[in-house]
């Protein structure tokens, strides 16, 4: 029986289009999902948008649009961006979807019935212009920091979730399940936050109507965070489809930004505990992408648009850069100069050129026909390649499970570099000069094809469309699977290669 793998990303507010940092998260999750499919898992990969936010309603109002219509339009545009980046999700959930409505109400009810929701008073400084509550320390000289006006003191009846009650269970859970929050640094932070004391949180609003009504009190809507987190179980079939839910839930991993780990590792986990549902196996808080060392900001106009960025070299090189240059658990930096460097050095020179030179030699020396290889063919470099290859295959699942994309890629590139050295040492052009039907030449070219075929499979999760195109240049059609990457000698001799097209043209 195949194992399932349920992976999610954060759902994004639709008050602005995604920037490069948002794309980074989705690419990482997509690479993971593709790898798991390659490893034989039944993958369910969900992402989507978070629409019940006051910011969203305000943005719609600003554009003079009906909120739902505005969301419809934005959801389309989000999906467009993701399609361009080859993000292959199984469901794109919207918090305005009908099944999510039912899911949130059911979840709210269960937590209420468990005695963890009570009515309380939410009070604070409220700026009418911002339509936002401020904590006292956020105010500047008692004034709203944005509008410089005196905020009103408002008190609102709210429903509260008894989060504080779960401090001990949370700590115990984190202690008993060492891998449940990664990387380690995020786990330490969460433990710290819990130890310093949890307060109950407000989970409803009566001052607004954009949202999902509290099931037993339609003068309140469910607070956006409480609503949003529930999307993960909605996608798994909660509450209508028990079979599906039992199969998919708990999620194997929630991929999220490091800034929202507390919502996931504290509030969400406690919500599930209260509703007596299983907890996600892992929450991974990735780092941020900076732009030349500075934080990207939509309001400053310094946010990079992934769509236009992907048009420079295509989506695959952008995916490659993000996964190779920035370790997923850390912050990283995007700079056009670095991007060009990676593109030229890693993609065009190392990988693209290897494919190109090998295929060209087969065309030139063997009329485009794949040669046969002797069974006992072996050289020192070839066996060095084999050693590296098997070491890589042994560690790749582990590396992936820890989101070490950049490590995996650097190992694959070591293989590629060995292949280029193999070409130099074997010098096929010399072999051809010595004897046109040199067996050594056949063996060399065939071995190189196999090296390329295998590297190409390993690269697939990161550059899926480039990998497909290279396969068609090899004129083979194997499934992209770890099994195929493990075996040597899958290419049959005596078939014609496809058309040779440079993969990474330079400007």
Partner RNA sequence: GGCGGAGUAGCUCAGUAGGUUAGAGCAGUGGAAUCAUAAUCCACGUGUCCGGGGUUCGAGUCCCUGCUCCGCUACCA
306 vs 428 by CB, closer to RNA: 428
Among 28, 428, 461, 464, binds RNA (CB under 7 A): 428
69 vs 506 by CB, closer to RNA: 506
The reply to whether 98 sits near RNA by the rule CB under 7 A is: no
Please report, for residues 205, 212, 220, the alpha-carbon distance to residue 208 in angstroms, rounded to integers and kept in the order given: 6, 11, 8
The reply to whether 417 sits near RNA by the rule CB under 7 A is: yes
CB 475 within 8 A of CB 348: no
Query: Which residues are CB-contacts of 374 (< 8 A; sequence separation ≥ 6)?
Result: 439, 442, 443
The reply to whether 472 sits near RNA by the rule CB under 7 A is: no
| Cα gap 380→374, rounded to integer Å | 16
CB 55 within 8 A of CB 276: no
DSSP letter at 369? B
| Cα gap 105→107, rounded to integer Å | 5
The reply to whether 463 sits near RNA by the rule CB under 7 A is: no
Query: Which residues are CB-contacts of 7 (< 8 A; sequence separation ≥ 6)?
Result: 29, 32, 33, 36, 43, 44, 45, 46, 251, 252, 253, 255
- Listed in order, strand segments (DSSP E) in 360-447 are none
Nearest distance, CB of residue 404 and RNA, angstroms: 10
| Cα gap 411→404, rounded to integer Å | 11
Among 29, 33, 361, 454, binds RNA (CB under 7 A): 361
Interface mask (CB under 7 A) for RNA, residues 363-402, using x and -? -x--------------------------------------
Among 317, 352, 371, 464, binds RNA (CB under 7 A): 352
Nearest distance, CB of residue 115 and RNA, angstroms: 26
Nearest distance, CB of residue 216 and RNA, angstroms: 32
| Cα gap 155→123, rounded to integer Å | 4
Task: Please choose, from the candidates 264, 269, 245, 244, the residue with its C-alpha nearest in 3D space to the C-alpha of residue 254.
Answer: 264
Compute CA 145 distance to the chain's CA centroid, rounded to the nearest angstrom.
35
Task: Please choose, from the candidates 195, 176, 272, the residue with its C-alpha nearest in 3D space to the C-alpha of residue 229.
Answer: 272
- The window from 10-18, 234-242, 271-279, 360-368 that contacts RNA (CB under 7 A) reads 360-368
Phi and psi at 290, nearest 5°, equal -100, 165
Among 244, 262, 281, 490, binds RNA (CB under 7 A): 262
- The window from 274-282, 302-310, 416-424, 487-495 that contacts RNA (CB under 7 A) reads 416-424
- The window from 90-98, 155-163, 397-405, 498-506 that contacts RNA (CB under 7 A) reads 498-506
Number of H helices and E strands in the chain, helices first, is: 21, 15
CB 83 within 8 A of CB 189: no
The reply to whether 299 sits near RNA by the rule CB under 7 A is: no
Among 349, 369, 379, 402, binds RNA (CB under 7 A): 349
Among 71, 127, 253, 348, binds RNA (CB under 7 A): 348
Nearest distance, CB of residue 421 and RNA, angstroms: 4
Q: Residues touching RNA: how many (CB under 7 A)?
A: 42
Among 113, 259, 378, 397, binds RNA (CB under 7 A): 259
| Cα gap 286→186, rounded to integer Å | 9
Among 79, 189, 200, 401, binds RNA (CB under 7 A): 189
Nearest distance, CB of residue 2 and RNA, angstroms: 33
Among 3, 119, 129, 360, binds RNA (CB under 7 A): 360
Compute CA 246 distance to the chain's CA centroid, rounded to the nearest angstrom.
24
The reply to whether 345 sits near RNA by the rule CB under 7 A is: yes
The reply to whether 216 sits near RNA by the rule CB under 7 A is: no
- The window from 45-53, 165-173, 296-304, 359-367 that contacts RNA (CB under 7 A) reads 359-367
Q: Which residues bind RNA (CB under 7 A)?
A: 136-137, 185, 188-189, 192-193, 196, 258-259, 262, 327, 330, 332, 341, 344-345, 348-350, 352-353, 355-357, 360-361, 364, 417, 420-421, 423-424, 427-430, 502-506
């Amino acid at each position: 029986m195949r194992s399932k793998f349920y992976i999610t990303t954060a759902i994004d507010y639709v008050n602005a289009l995604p920037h490069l940092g948002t794309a980074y998260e989705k690419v990482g999750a997509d690479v993971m999902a593709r790898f798991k499919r390659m490893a034989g898992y039944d993958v369910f990969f969900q992402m989507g948008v978070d629409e019940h936010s006051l910011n969203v309603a305000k943005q719609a109002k600003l554009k003079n649009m009906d909120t739902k219509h505005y969301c419809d339009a934005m959801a389309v545009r989000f999906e467009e961006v993701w399609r361009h980046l080859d993000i292959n999700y199984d469901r794109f959930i919207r918090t305005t979807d009908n099944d999510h409505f039912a899911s949130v109400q059911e979840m709210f009810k269960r937590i209420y019935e468990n005695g963890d929701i009570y009515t309380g008073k939410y009070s604070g400084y409220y700026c009418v212009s911002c339509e936002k509550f401020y904590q006292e320390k956020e105010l500047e000289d008692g004034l709203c920091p944005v509008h410089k006006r005196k905020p009103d003191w408002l008190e609102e009846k709210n429903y509260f979730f008894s989060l504080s009650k779960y401090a001990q269970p949370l700590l115990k859970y984190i202690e008993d399940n060492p891998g449940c929050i990664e990387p380690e640094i995020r786990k330490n932070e969460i433990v710290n936050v819990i130890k310093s004391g949890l307060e109950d949180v407000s989970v409803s609003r009566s001052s607004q109507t954009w949202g999902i009504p509290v099931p037993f009190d339609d003068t309140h809507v469910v607070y956006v965070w409480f609503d949003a987190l529930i999307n993960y179980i909605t996608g798994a079939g909660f509450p209508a489809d028990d079979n599906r839910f039992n199969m998919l839930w708990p999620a194997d991993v929630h991929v999220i930004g490091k800034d929202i780990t507390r919502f996931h590792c504290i509030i969400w986990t406690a919500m599930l505990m209260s509703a007596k549902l299983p907890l996600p196996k892992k929450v991974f808080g990735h780092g941020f992408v900076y732009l030349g060392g500075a934080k990207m900001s939509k309001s400053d106009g310094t946010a990079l648009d992934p769509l236009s960025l992907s048009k420079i070299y295509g989506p695959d090189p952008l995916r490659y850069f993000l996964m190779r240059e920035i370790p997923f658990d850390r912050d990283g930096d995007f700079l056009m100069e670095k991007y060009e460097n990676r593109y030229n050095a890693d993609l065009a020179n190392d990988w693209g050129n290897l494919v190109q030179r090998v295929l060209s030699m087969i065309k030139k020396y063997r009329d485009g026909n794949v040669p046969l290889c002797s069974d006992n063919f072996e050289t020192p470099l070839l066996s060095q390649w084999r050693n590296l290859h098997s070491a890589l295959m042994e560690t790749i699942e582990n590396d992936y499970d820890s989101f070490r994309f950049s490590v995996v890629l650097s190992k694959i590139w070591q293989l590629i570099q060995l292949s280029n050295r193999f070409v130099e040492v074997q010098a096929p052009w010399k072999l051809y000069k010595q004897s046109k039907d040199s067996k050594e030449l056949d063996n060399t070219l065939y071995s190189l094809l196999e090296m390329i075929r295998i590297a190409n499979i390993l690269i697939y999760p990161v550059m899926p469309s480039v990998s497909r195109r290279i396969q068609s240049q090899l004129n083979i059609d194997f499934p992209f699977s770890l099994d195929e990457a493990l075996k040597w000698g899958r290419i049959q001799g005596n078939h014609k290669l496809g058309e040779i097209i440079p993969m990474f043209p330079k400007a």
